[in-house]
């Protein structure tokens, strides 16, 4: 079986000289397809290299973060010595569920203490809690600009609950007392 580049060259030769408009179009389509395949292949290669580099970086920082957690939480050293395999699995679970929490020695230590103090069959709930407590990512500058344009385009200025309480929604507030929120 020929590789994709050889297949491309064979197809290109089979087309021969293109004389009609349809023939020229078909030839360009095949040439473009070959170029597209080449770029797709390069993209996969680059993505694989980046994934491998990220994997190595995460492995290196995992050990560093684990050691920093133990240094910041000396009371966990005894738990680690008592059940090193379970302790390591728990840290790996927390890291998988919320890498940001596992990088902070105090936060990771708190979750590790909670997990190791409980029953082994309940440790997964602690890891799941770290996932639930994950911070949602804030919008970046491009997303902020797009949202700003969207708000302007529809004629709304979304400023949060205060704008609703102060009558900007046209909901019957007379505007006489705009410094206090209505009592509920």
Given a cut of 60, whether residue 66 has pLDDT beyond it is: yes
Residues written for the chain: 184
- State the helix-helix crossing angle for 21-72 and 75-82, rounded to 10 degrees: 110
For 139-151, write each residue's pLDDT tens digit. Answer: 566 666 666 665 6
Residue 123, in any domain of the structure: yes
DSSP state of 120: G
DSSP state of 121: G
Q: What is the total count of domains within the chain?
A: 1
pLDDT band at 95 (very low <50, low <70, confident <90, very high): very high
Q: Which of 21-35, 140-154, 169-183 has the lowest mean pLDDT?
A: 169-183
When pLDDT is averaged across residues 8-30 and rounded to a whole number, the result is: 63
DSSP assignment of 25-67 equals HHHHHHHHHHHHHHHHHHHHHHHHHHHHHHHHHHHHHHHHHHH
The answer to whether the beta carbons of residues 86 and 76 sit under 8 Å apart is no
> Strands (DSSP E) along 44-176, which ranges?
none
Residue 30, in any domain of the structure: yes
Enclosing domain of residue 114: 4-11+26-132
Residue 154, in any domain of the structure: no
Residue 107, in any domain of the structure: yes
pLDDT band at 171 (very low <50, low <70, confident <90, very high): very low
3-state percent helix, strand, coil for the chain, nearest multiple of 5 = 75, 0, 25
Burial of 123 (0-12, 13-18, 19+ CB in 10 A): buried
Q: How far apart are CA 28 and CA 14, in angstroms?
A: 13
Residue 46, in any domain of the structure: yes
Residue 17, in any domain of the structure: no
Burial of 37 (0-12, 13-18, 19+ CB in 10 A): middle
User: Which residue matches tokens 């910041």?
Assistant: 72
């Amino acid at each position: 079986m020929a590789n994709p580049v050889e297949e491309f060259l064979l197809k290109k030769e089979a087309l021969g000289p293109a004389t009609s408009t349809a023939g020229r179009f078909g030839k360009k389509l095949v040439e473009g397809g070959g170029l597209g395949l080449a770029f797709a292949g390069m993209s996969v290669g680059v993505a694989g290299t980046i994934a491998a580099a990220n994997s190595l970086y995460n492995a290196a920082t995992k050990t560093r973060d684990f050691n920093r957690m133990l240094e910041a939480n000396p009371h966990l050293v005894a738990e680690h010595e008592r059940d090193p395999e379970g302790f390591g699995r728990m840290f790996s679970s927390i890291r998988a569920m919320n890498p940001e929490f596992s990088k902070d020695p105090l936060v990771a230590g708190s979750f590790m203490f909670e997990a190791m103090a409980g029953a082994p069959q309940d440790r997964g709930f602690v890891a799941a809690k770290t996932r639930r407590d994950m911070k949602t990512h804030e919008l970046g500058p491009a997303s902020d600009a797009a949202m700003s344009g969207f708000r302007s385009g529809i004629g709304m200025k979304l400023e949060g609950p205060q704008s609703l309480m102060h009558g900007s929604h046209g909901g019957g507030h007379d505007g006489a007392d705009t410094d206090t929120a209505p009592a509920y």
